Amino acid sequence: MVAQGEPVNTFGQSAGQPAEAQRSDASKSAGQSAELPAAAPSSPLTSATDADASGCVGTLDIGGTWIRAAVVTPAGEILVRSRRPLPTSEGGRAVVDTCLDALGEARMRIGCHTLERIGVSVTGPVDPRTGKLFTPPNTGPVLAGLELGEALSRAACLEVRVDRDTNAAALGEHRCGSARGTANFVFITVSTGVGGAVMLDGRLIRGADGVAGEIGHICVERGGPRCGCGRRGCVEAIASGPSIARRAEAELRAAEGAELRAAEGFAQTRAVTKSVEGSTAAASVAARAGEAVAAPISSQTSSFSSQASSFSSQTSSPLAERLRSGRPLTGKDVDECAAAGDPHAIRALDAAAAAVAGMCVDMANVFNPERIVVGGSVAITHPDWIARASELVAREALVPANREGIVVPAELGDDVSLVGAAFL
């Protein structure tokens, strides 16, 4: 309870309140309420009271586009949520202010005056011990080097726990989703990126620098597509939504290029033939060359005819038509083109499914999990990937790690990190 007359920040904490729940040194220097943004005024959506919200955690999920906030019960239920665009063109202070603004609105909407702490899920890499972000590849420079945990704790006068979004998601699935009741599992998310987390003996593995579990950068195709991390052939460079779109387009362009070269080769050969045929003075030469030239022309004409037919079908393929619209290809475009039978889209999706399945075999061999939970928008859109990966693990993983039905879909959908941040 806040004493009358004390300065109060947007989280209902007294600025002079003991810092027993605070984690970082910075959070102990309370009295920063003057820097806090005012909570957005809003009508309560529910009749939830402070008592209803007892033990609730304020959670934040910072992605490439949005900062989402929620108040989450100890059972993992989201009571209320809000969101703000990630201020990508402003500095780190604007990110912190936007986090507080979004969380303040969520809290005000249900009249929740106290929070146990704040849990933050953010695209990695991040040091969970300090809450400092490194250089997240999917959010531009705005988050690079940001001391997020310290800044939030100082402003909110609350304990703040920050971790990679996949670690938060794994905790969410462990408490409320597909990994309930397991102490050993691997979480994989396939979305705009590919990431993961590993829990062994009931504990997330973090490694020396807190970045263990970045399994999206396992190389599954030597010399494959270039990944954002700089290497080639990472799972992320093959199976993420943007990677699938790039590969489908590359497949189409390669096919078109091959046809164009074949067409040019045919035209050049025909020009040579006409020149030879038109030279009466070289009739004897033509007669001698006839066998050498005519045969290739004959075979190339035949080849061109069949390829021209193929070219014609490709220029009118669903994928080619989408590309002619001039807008960037999306994963959804590829899905729709594959459903319409486009061979390039089908090949790109097949490569993605194979990469995920191969990664699951590696995960089974390396960590011997009870389950491999696969989530993320791309994976959930392709439920057949789950069965394919499960079959491959059963067939190729080492005995006895090759458990039947080991690969299962995630349950919490888009909210997984927002919920899981409550359990950091």
Minimum distance of Zn ion from residue 193's CB (angstroms): 9
227 binds Zn ion (CB under 5 A): yes
Minimum distance of Zn ion from residue 136's CB (angstroms): 14
Reduced to 3 DSSP states, what percent helix, strand and coil does the chain have, rounded to the nearest 5? 45, 15, 40
Q: Total binding residues for Zn ion by CB under 5 A?
A: 5
Which window, 38-46, 227-235, 347-355, 393-401, contacts Zn ion (CB under 5 A)? Answer: 227-235
Minimum distance of Zn ion from residue 212's CB (angstroms): 15
Minimum distance of Zn ion from residue 210's CB (angstroms): 18
When the beta carbons of 113 and 231 are compared against Zn ion, the nearer one is 231
144 binds Zn ion (CB under 5 A): no
Separation of alpha carbons 28 and 11, rounded Å: 16
Q: What are phi and psi of 127, to 5 degrees?
A: -90, 110
Minimum distance of Zn ion from residue 155's CB (angstroms): 34
When the beta carbons of 198 and 235 are compared against Zn ion, the nearer one is 235
Minimum distance of Zn ion from residue 198's CB (angstroms): 17
When the beta carbons of 229 and 295 are compared against Zn ion, the nearer one is 229
Is there a contact between 389 and 374 (Cβ–Cβ < 8 Å)? Answer: yes
234 binds Zn ion (CB under 5 A): yes
H or E, element range at 373: strand 371-375
The binder of Zn ion chosen from 144, 183, 229, 398 (CB under 5 A): 229
Which window, 176-184, 223-231, 271-279, 348-356, contacts Zn ion (CB under 5 A)? Answer: 223-231
Which window, 73-81, 169-177, 224-232, 402-410, contacts Zn ion (CB under 5 A)? Answer: 224-232
Is there a contact between 155 and 36 (Cβ–Cβ < 8 Å)? Answer: yes
When the beta carbons of 234 and 360 are compared against Zn ion, the nearer one is 234
State the angle between helix axes of 241-277 and 283-315 in degrees (0 to 180), rounded to the nearest 10.
160
Beta bridge partners of 264: none
- Buried/exposed code over 255-293 (b: 16+ C-beta within 10 A; e: otherwise): beeebeebeeebeebeeebeebeeeeeeeeebeeeeeee
Which window, 38-46, 200-208, 214-222, 357-365, contacts Zn ion (CB under 5 A)? Answer: 214-222
The binder of Zn ion chosen from 23, 109, 174, 217 (CB under 5 A): 217
Question: Tokens 């039978």 sit at which residue?
Answer: 341
Other beta carbons less than 10 A from residue 225's beta carbon: 16
3-class DSSP assignment, residue 118? strand
When the beta carbons of 28 and 231 are compared against Zn ion, the nearer one is 231
Separation of alpha carbons 349 and 192, rounded Å: 14
Separation of alpha carbons 398 and 394, rounded Å: 9
When the beta carbons of 222 and 327 are compared against Zn ion, the nearer one is 222
Which window, 11-19, 215-223, 330-338, 351-359, contacts Zn ion (CB under 5 A)? Answer: 215-223
Question: Tokens 């102490």 sit at which residue?
Answer: 183
363 binds Zn ion (CB under 5 A): no
Question: Tokens 């319409």 sit at which residue?
Answer: 340
Question: Tokens 């989530």 sit at which residue?
Answer: 375
Minimum distance of Zn ion from residue 352's CB (angstroms): 15
When the beta carbons of 170 and 218 are compared against Zn ion, the nearer one is 218
Minimum distance of Zn ion from residue 348's CB (angstroms): 18
Nearest to 418 by CA among 82, 47, 107: 82
Which chain residues interact with Zn ion by CB under 5 A? 217, 227, 229, 231, 234
